[in-house]
Amino acid sequence: GVTLPPPPFQESNGPTDCYAAISHADRLHSEPESIRKWREEQKERLEQLDANSRKQEAEWKEKAIKELEEWYARQDEKLQKTKASNRVADEAFYRQPSADVIGYVAAEEAFVSNAEDVFPGTEWERVAQLCDFNPKASKQAKDVSRMRSVLISLKQAPLVR
């Protein structure tokens, strides 16, 4: 009973039982013609279904991309319309007499744009347009009533040079 070790470079990719491969080949050859034909038809049918589904998926993706681009275009158009209407509304709002109380920035822009229309003696009237002369009843705010009264008196009787 001495057993020899297997040869060092022996490959074992297939079945270890040498008769298993033969029995498998026999089963493939002994398959009836109708079953073999059905397998081939089934394989072709599945390949056709796969091709159809890939084609349909590609069509859906194209349609989705097109719809998404249209949606973005509509959103951009809405945004531009909203911006334009807001600009018009803002300009109309800031031209109101009380806009200097609410919108200091727009009032200051209007003040600067009207700088060419300065006539001697109207400077303090223009400064008064930028000021809020409504008294605040808050105890936490600083008392600016004295400054308010100085500005009003300068508006009514400007300094003479």
CB proximity list for 131: less than 8 A, separation 6 or greater: 100, 148, 151
Following DSSP, what letter does each residue of 9-34 receive, concatenated? T----S-SSHHHHHHHHHHHHTS-HH
User: What confidence score (pLDDT) does residue 98 get?
Assistant: 61
Q: What is the CA radius of gyration of the chain?
A: 45
pLDDT of 28 reads: 61
Q: What is the pLDDT of residue 107?
A: 58
Model confidence pLDDT, tens digit, residues 14-38: 555 667 766 766 666 677 888 889 9
- Residue 155 has what pLDDT? 82
Q: Which stretches of the chain score pLDDT less than 50?
A: none
Q: Output the pLDDT for position 80.
A: 95
Q: What is the pLDDT of residue 27?
A: 65
**Confidence (pTM):** 0.36
